[in-house]
Structure 1
């Protein structure tokens, strides 16, 4: 049995809960969307590795998800409070536990996208998968120097992209603008959890046209 949740994201969905982020309806390039960024309190006074950087910083949606497909359009760039290491981090968290103490996440770094002609190794770091809390990006890079949990992509800042995740069990396949860019074996826990619109430090992101389909997708 499959189920489907579709929302234009031209307003905050009923029942959504913000965790360390602000989310407001906005219009960008004539398109209705949700503008999401970290709160000023977190951006200015948060502790890296605790309050942000691969942490529970997302708008949690009233959607139950275990296996299936998540699709959303994202347009992200730098926030006015962005530190020099910010890359426009924005993406999707999934299988969020009720206490938000574990989840999986895929996010993009558009300032590392190939459209910006970044130097190595940043050209291979436009898309990232991590599993909270143990397997953040820095631990994944140390444990897997082959870079299997991140990949390059033909993206850039302040441009719309279409992110699609196909998830089943421990597998997650990531597609950007119809191009498969990453397929990983996750370190997260299996089971049902919520879906969240994720941002990290220094990011101003817009999200539109979300579609979540629950059910088996990979064979």
Structure 2
């Protein structure tokens, strides 16, 4: 449900938001989670990595800012490679076939292994540039460290202008991750909640500003 739409700003309340989402490989429910009205999102069994999306119906986004609170943690029984992958996809094409995204790996944020810490925040471009391909072809360029705690609320802001996107975490004045060469160029599209395999995700207080 849109609570306010003033000029180019739209703020989305949690009441009824689940009905405004187009689901791709996920299930959603409205819940109260750690003091916030939220949308809980879990992946369907067998959904492929990169194809779990809850797309906001009717939202068109090219340049602007996306702000929200997110939380991710591994589900009970998730494999050892689960990290609580949770994030935001933007410039999403119809049906979610193509998109850009920033996401977090919450269990990496305070890991004892420094290499894991360095992989706390990630940019991807679906479907042609998944994380493992980017890590192989461009080591360190599309990943960064940020302090994270699994299952806790994290404030996220994504700013997009032209072919540049910047990820801000927990109100920091400086971006955690900067991408100056978005692989999909300057295509417009939708906005979606994003999660990876073996993740229990929560999303709250979404605001979209179009420049």
**Under a length normalisation based on structure 2, what TM-score does the superposition of the two structures give?**
0.90
Q: CA deviation at 1:118?
A: 3.3
Q: Give the conservation status (yes or no) of the 8 Å contact 2:18–2:30.
A: no
For 1:182, the equivalent position in structure 2 comes to 177
Q: CA offsets, 1:126-163, max 9 Å, x none?
A: 11000011111011111112x11111101110111101
CA contact (8 A) 2:70 2:203 kept: yes
Equivalent-residue separation in structure 1 for 2:15 and 2:152 (angstroms): 18
How far, CA to CA, are the matches of 2:17 and 2:188 in structure 1? Answer: 22
Q: Mind listing any 5+ residue stretches in structure 2 that lack a counterpart?
A: 1-6
Q: Deviations over 1:156-208 (max 9, x none)?
A: 10111101000011100110012221101221242221100001101001110
Change (3 A) 1:81 1:22: farther
Give the CA deviation at 1:75: 1.4
How do residues 118-133 of structure 1 correspond to structure 2 at under 5 angstroms? 118-133=112-127
Shift of 1:94: 0.6
Contact in 1 for aligned 2:18/2:28 (Cα 8 Å):
no
Whole-Å separation in 2 of the counterparts to 1:36 and 1:135: 24
Contact 2:68/2:207, CA 8 A, preserved across alignment: yes
Match of 2:54 in 1: 59
Specify the alignment match of 1:24 in structure 2: 29
Counting matched residue pairs gives: 202
What is the CA–CA distance in structure 1 between the aligned matches of 2:15 and 2:203, rounded to whole Å? 9
RMSD of aligned Cα (Å) = 1.6
Q: Which runs of 4+ in 1 moved over 6 A?
A: none
Match of 1:166 among 155, 159, 164: 159
Question: Structure 1 regions of 5+ residues with no counterpart?
Answer: none
Give the TM-score taking structure 1 as reference length: 0.87
